Structures are given as structure tokens and as C-alpha cells.
Amino acid sequence: MNGLLQKYNEYIRLKNCRAEYRLSNGEILDFTYKEESFIHLIGLHKLIDIQMIQLLNDKSNKKVKTGYIISRIKKGRLTDEMVKKSSFYKEISVRYDKFSYDNLTKLTYTDAIINFNSKRINSKIKSDYLLFEEEDEGYNHLGIATDTLTKNRYIETFFYQNTDMYIKGQTVVKVNSFTLYSSDGKIIVTDNFLKIKEH
């Protein structure tokens, strides 16, 4: 199977599911997985030598939107092979390779940056929360932003960074628990990190 389509099919299992993280400072961070977030999360928007991605990034273009790109993935018109042939693939290769249902729903995001200050590192990230975990010699990050119109939170970005540049100098709190709810409100998975720490 086309690897890009497989990644989309894994992600779509989360459509309209709600993730809830309870933080050690008493805050509850929750967001709903939306289909339209897939393109940005996996990094396709950075592959600007693929014509349909150029059109997606062109604000004046009214035809090519996220739904169009997703339909091309489903029909096999935008494939894993095309993604990996892009001259810009190296910019997203780690994110792309690590992108999976398991990495998006991992119970090991044990820390969170609150009120993330992107100016500290000259980043374009809009997220106000960054969940992170150590992996290998770096960190997986899951960025959560707030929609300015609806005030709802959404996943803005998922990436791996081999340094602590996104963490250093930021306000970090512990994640106490994680729960993933299905679209009809049933618990899919839950974990309490405090229990783990007590053993």
C-alpha cells in the first residue's frame, strides 16, 4: 500500500476523537482531531516543488484547498513516492517517518510547555502548548494551538527535534493524565502518569 495513504488512514481513525491532558498546574488541555489537520501535521505543505502543494500554499488560489489534497491522496494521485522524490523531503523526513497513530496518541508525552513563546527561538509555530517526550537523543513535540475565531484547540504541528531548543527557557509542567475519547464520548484509552511515578 502507498505509505502516504496508509499514514492518512491511520490518522483518520482519530477523526473527531478528543484528547484530554490534565496538567500538574491544574489546567486541562484538550483538542479534537480534525481531518483537515493531516496535511500540515505530516509536513506536506513544505513540499513546494509539488504543483498541487504550491497551489495549496497560494492564498489567492480558491480551488486547491486541504480537501482537494486529501482527495488526491485517497485516489493515489499524491503518493509516498512523490513525497519522497521532492527536493524538500529532507525538511520533513523525520516528521514524515515518525508520523503514526501510535506517535500521535502516545501515552508518553509526560511534559508540556505552557504559554509557548515562539519569539524566543524565532519560530513560526502558533501553538500555545507543546507536549513533548524524550526519544532517542532528542524530543518528539506535539503543538497545540487555539483557533482565534472559535477558541477551540487543535493540533498545529508534530515534529522531532534533536536538541532542546523548543524547551529551553520555556515554562514546563508535568502531564498528570491522558485520556482519548471516541467521537461519541467513550474512553478509548486512559493513563495516569502519577501512578507510574509511584511504582
Residue-by-residue pLDDT tens, the chain, 199 positions: 579 999 999 999 999 999 999 999 999 999 999 998 899 889 999 999 999 999 888 888 888 889 999 999 999 999 999 999 999 999 999 889 988 888 777 656 889 999 999 999 999 899 999 999 888 788 989 999 998 899 999 988 888 888 999 999 999 999 999 999 999 999 998 888 765 443 3
pLDDT of residue 198: 39
What's the whole-model pTM score?
Answer: 0.82
User: How many CB atoms neighbour CB 43 within 10 A?
Assistant: 21
Rounded to the nearest angstrom, the gap between the alpha carbon of residue 9 and the centroid of all alpha carbons in its chain is: 15
Judged by DSSP in three states, 98 sits in helix
pLDDT of residue 196: 43
pLDDT of residue 11: 93
Grid cell at residue 99: 508520523
User: How many CB atoms neighbour CB 18 within 10 A?
Assistant: 17
Rounded to the nearest angstrom, the gap between the alpha carbon of residue 14 and the centroid of all alpha carbons in its chain is: 12
Comparing CA positions, the residue from 14, 19, 37, 34 lying closest to residue 175 is 19
| β strands within 107-167, DSSP E | 111-114, 129-135, 138-146, 153-161
pLDDT of residue 61: 83
C-alpha 57/C-alpha 194 separation (Å) is 43
Which H helix or E strand runs over 12? helix 3-12
